[in-house]
Amino acid sequence: DTEVTQTPKHLVMGMTNKKSLKCEQHMGHRAMYWYKQKAKKPPELMFVYSYEKLSINESVPSRFSPECPNSSLLNLHLHALQPEDSALYLCASSQGREERNTEAFFGQGTRLTVV
Amino acid sequence: DAKTTQPTSMDCAEGRAANLPCNHSTISGNEYVYWYRQIHSQGPQYIIHGLKNNETNEMASLIITEDRKSSTLILPHATLRDTAVYYCIVTGYSGGSNYKLTFGKGTLLTVNP
């Protein structure tokens, strides 16, 4: 199984709503990532988790709150978002071990619309 | 991570080889060259990566110059399904950052019938 599964595929939320994006992998990967991608732009790194601990936060606003409850799951909690936060949110995972440099696997993303 | 420079767009005829260049003149000794592609509205897909030597897999070949300052991704027989944005990324392990992938603008490859 080389899949990274993201749910939901599409999400529409109001600016006062609280919602969560979910990402799951069963490849035994210990590094997991959240990216944000606006239309016609490259993916932008938001967060990196290494062995269930947050290792990188690319100065993301606090209305985005990541969580890694176990080695297979990664959540992104959303609260009080703005319309400009509408984007494709991508999750990825990789081995996460220094001695083994391998590829990252990406999910198909959640397309988020904030109204 | 070292910065990369790629052409904005390229065209290729179906069935011909597609050669996508990437410049990474500031690459350091422990950094790898990775190639990913993103077909419209899908998540990025890993293609190939290398450190010094040329690499080949079922999807593509990667040619890295001896000084490692540039590389070329080769799709030997391009098909219409290879139309995508191709990203060249240079990255290495640095403590907790776990081979951080930072995407540049990439090259839009259009394969024409």
Cα Dmax for chain B:
46
What pLDDT, on a 0 to 100 scale, did the predictor assign at position A53?
Answer: 92
The two structure tokens encoding residue B26: 């500031």
Please spell the DSSP secondary structure of chain B, one letter per residue.
----B--SEEEEETTS-EEEEEE-TT--TT-EEEEEEE-TTS--EEEEEESSS-EE-SS-EEEE-TTSSEEEEEETT--GGG-EEEEEEEE---GGG-S-------EEEEEE-
Distance from C-alpha of A107 to C-alpha of A21, rounded to nearest angstrom: 12
At A55-66, the pLDDT tens digits run: 889 999 999 999
Structure tokens given for B49: 């990566």
Q: Per-residue pLDDT for A100 more than 80?
A: no
pLDDT exceeds 80 at position A30? yes
Task: Give the pLDDT score at A95.
Answer: 84
Question: In b/e form, how buried is each residue of B96-111, taking b as 16+ CB within 10 angstroms?
Answer: bbbbbbbbeebbbbeb
Interface test mutation site (partner B, options A5, A10, A98, A100, max chain B beta carbons within 10 A): A98
Structure-block tokens of residue B38? 């993103």
Residue B96: the pLDDT is: 55
**What's the average model confidence in pLDDT over A69-97?**
94
- Residue A99: per-residue pLDDT: 57
The low-confidence residues of chain B, meaning pLDDT below 70, are 1-2, 94-99
Checking if the pLDDT of A70 tops 80, the result is: yes
- pLDDT over threshold 90, residue A106: yes
A66 bridge partner residues: A76
Q: Among residues A54, A88, A57, which one has the least CA distance to residue B41?
A: A88
Give A82 to chain B, closest Cα distance, Å: 22
Q: How far is A48 from chain B (nearest CA, A)?
A: 7
Select the more confidently predicted residue: A23 or B28.
A23
pLDDT of residue B100: 78
Interchain CB contact of A104 with B (< 8 Å): yes
For chain A, the average pLDDT equals 93
- Determine which helix (DSSP H) or strand (DSSP E) holds A35, and give its type and residue range: strand A31-37
- Nearest-CB residue to B99 (from A53, A90, A94): A94
Above 80 in pLDDT, residue A112? yes
Please report the pLDDT score of residue A1 as a whole number. 66
